[in-house]
Amino acid sequence: MEKQVSRKNVVVIMSDEHNPMYLGRAGHPFIKTPHLDALARRGASFTDAYTPSPICVPARAAFATGMRVHQTRHWDNASPYTGTPESWGHVLQRNAVRVESIGKLHYRNATDPVGFDREHLPMHVVGGHGMVWGSIRDPILPIGEGKRMLGENIGPGESPYTEYDRAVTHTAVEWLRDAAHDDRPFVLYVGLVAPHFPLTAPQEFFDLYKDVNVPEAKLHPNAGAVRHPWVETYAQCIPNEERFRSAQERRNAFLAYYALCSFLDDNVGKIVSTLDQTGLFDSTHVVYTSDHGDNVGARGLWGKSTLYQETVKVPMIVAGPRLPIGVTCDTPVDLIDMYPTILDVAGLRWKDEMAGRPGWSVLRLDELPNAQQRVIVSEYHATGSNTAGFMVRKGRWKYHYYVRFAPELFDLETDPGELRDLSAIPQYLPVLADMERELRRVCDPEAVDAQAKQDQTAFIDSLGGRDAAAQMGERGATPPPKTKIAA
């Protein structure tokens, strides 16, 4: 059909727990992501993109509102977004732009006014309150025995999550086919779950990696590495590595993560192919990103919840009519930049809608003075942490500030794998001082830590206290809604 070049459409695809190193485009030696690689060749890849928080609910609330976690006080997986502060969806609605969602949001429920005209197959936190046990901190509540976080069946197969992603993708494809016959411009958000655990991957994708020689995980305690005490607390709270039943099952965990990245890629490919088939691609900006990354065995850790590159970095690809083709941008960016970016590509006056929000449209990074020294902050106040942790990225330096614990400092220019903490070396004291000053320009970390704990304690007390809260919420992955793909 005829291309509709006058329209300003946006498709935002957000996955869950996608470590950006696991992309062919990122130079991974064997990961197969042909569709995401092709999308990157049609637009811009942001190699230094970060999450505002390395855990689902706070990251998604920040993504929606364009505000930092400590600004909105969505601290953990039991404090979901309810519709305030205003989201980019609300701005689109006020400007009469059609805006709908399909798939995972991880907000409170489907009735809150979060900024979508309609939610299709929405996945929200369980019971409207989510993982309350994870709000118990200082001292933390160890996860103990019972359901394994990574899943009971690790390896090839289907799970409710893979079934859900298939249904979300099918619904998105049908939605776009219908939209091609509608003159109204639109913004469509698509929330996919892979490669989030459970680590069960469809056989056809698992088979892509069955002969792979799995690389040794870096900085593993079994090889003599010593984890930072703040990180060790998290590791003891959720002991994933210790709960593999065999060496083969541990290998399967790696293969399943690789396979889920390829499964995700296949679903993204179906969505982008539909844009091409319907003639919508030339009038549509496509954004691909994730809410946070995954440790994938590094330091003996799985899941998110640390401040290392594996979990605080996210993939980010933006393709569309107003972007150069096949470029790579290493200016640091943040998921909170998606608030102005989505408004910008939708054709709105985004600067008029910021109201003190710290983000910037990624299409206009050349307008920022000294952009390479832009400061990015991520923070964590959730499961397995007795105290708050803050990450600061500025230029070549990456700094971790842990309340009541010693900091960490890494030179990403000479040590991109964060193998050597420089914080105890006297010559780096001026760098440490500068990075702490940058953090304190953004917030008072001790005051934020105290506020988070005050809010979490009040919430726990409202539910009957610590003992009652300890029994509330999933120990593993949030269950998706029941779905069925039409024949």
pLDDT at 477 over 90: no
What's the chain's average pLDDT? Answer: 95
Residue 2 within a domain: no
Residue 424 within a domain: no
What are the pLDDT digits (tens) for 173-208? 999 999 999 999 999 999 999 999 999 999 999 999
Q: Are strands 98-104 and 186-195 parallel, antiparallel or unpaired?
A: parallel
pLDDT of amino acid 400 = 98
What are the pLDDT digits (tens) for 310-333? 999 999 999 998 788 999 999 999
Residue 356 within a domain: yes
Residue 243's Cα: distance from chain center in Å?
25
pLDDT at 393 over 90: yes
What are the pLDDT digits (tens) for 141-165? 877 667 889 999 999 999 999 999 9
**Residue 47 banded pLDDT, cuts 50, 70, 90:** very high
428 phi/psi in degrees, rounded to 5: -100, 5
What are the pLDDT digits (tens) for 48-61? 999 999 999 999 99
Average pLDDT over every residue of 121-127: 95
Query: When comparing pLDDT for 144 and 340, which is higher?
Result: 340
What are the pLDDT digits (tens) for 224-271? 999 999 999 999 999 999 999 999 999 999 999 999 999 999 999 999
Average pLDDT over every residue of 366-390: 96
- Taking the C-alpha atoms of residue 469 and residue 134, their distance in angstroms, rounded to an integer, is 9
Both ends of the chain: CA-CA distance in Å? 25
Secondary structure of the chain in HEC code, one letter for each residue = CCCCCCCCEEEEEEEECCCCCCCCCCCCCCCCCHHHHHHHHCEEEECCEECCCCCHHHHHHHHHHCCCHHHHCCCCCCCCCCCCCCCHHHHHHHCCCEEEEEEECCCCCCCCCCCCCEEEEEECCHHHCCCHHHHCCCCCCCCCCCCCCCCCCCEECCCHHHHHHHHHHHHHHHHHHHHCCCCCCEEEEEEEEEECCCCEECHHHHHHHCCCCCCCCCCCHHHCCCCCHHHHHHHHHCCCHHHCCCHHHHHHHHHHHHHHHHHHHHHHHHHHHHHHHCCCHHHEEEEEEECCCCCCCHHHCCCCCCCCHHHHEECEEEECCCCCCCEEECCCEEHHHHHHHHHHHCCCCHHHHCCCCCCCCHHHHHHCCCHHHCCEEEEECCCCCCCCEEEEEECCEEEEEECCCCCEEEECCCCCCCCCCCCCCHHHHHHHHHHHHHHHHHCCHHHHHHHHHHHHHHHHHHCCCHHHHCCCCCCCCCCCCCCCCCC
- Taking the C-alpha atoms of residue 462 and residue 401, their distance in angstroms, rounded to an integer, is 31
Residue 127 within a domain: yes
Residue 382 within a domain: no
Strand order, beta sheet including 327-329: 118-123, 98-104, 186-195, 9-16, 284-290, 316-319, 43-46, 327-329
pLDDT of amino acid 144 = 63
Average pLDDT over every residue of 442-463: 97
pLDDT of amino acid 143 = 72
Residue 118 within a domain: yes
pLDDT of amino acid 484 = 63
pLDDT at 7 over 80: no
The CATH number for 32's domain is: 3.40.720.10
- Taking the C-alpha atoms of residue 292 and residue 309, their distance in angstroms, rounded to an integer, is 10
CA distances from 159 to 166, 198, 473, 477 (A): 11, 8, 20, 11
pLDDT of amino acid 149 = 92
pLDDT at 483 over 90: no
pLDDT of amino acid 324 = 87
pLDDT of amino acid 210 = 95
Scanning the structure block, which residue is given the tokens 């971790």? 400
Residue 147 within a domain: yes
- The torsion of the CA quartet 441, 360, 269, 57, rounded to 10 degrees, works out to 40
Full-prediction pTM beyond 0.85?
A: yes
pLDDT at 6 over 70: no
Residue 369 within a domain: no
Percent of the chain with pLDDT over 90: 92
Ramachandran bin of 115, using left for φ above 0, alpha for ψ from -120 to 50, beta for the remaining angles: left
Angle (nearest 5°) at CA 69 between 67 and 75: 145
User: Which domain covers residue 71, as residue numbers?
Assistant: 9-360
Average pLDDT over every residue of 293-321: 97
**Residue 481 banded pLDDT, cuts 50, 70, 90:** confident
pLDDT at 2 over 80: no
pLDDT at 334 over 90: yes
Closest CA to 195 of 258, 255, 147: 258
What are the pLDDT digits (tens) for 403-418? 999 999 999 999 999 9
The domain total for the chain is 1
Supply 391's token pair: 């990450």
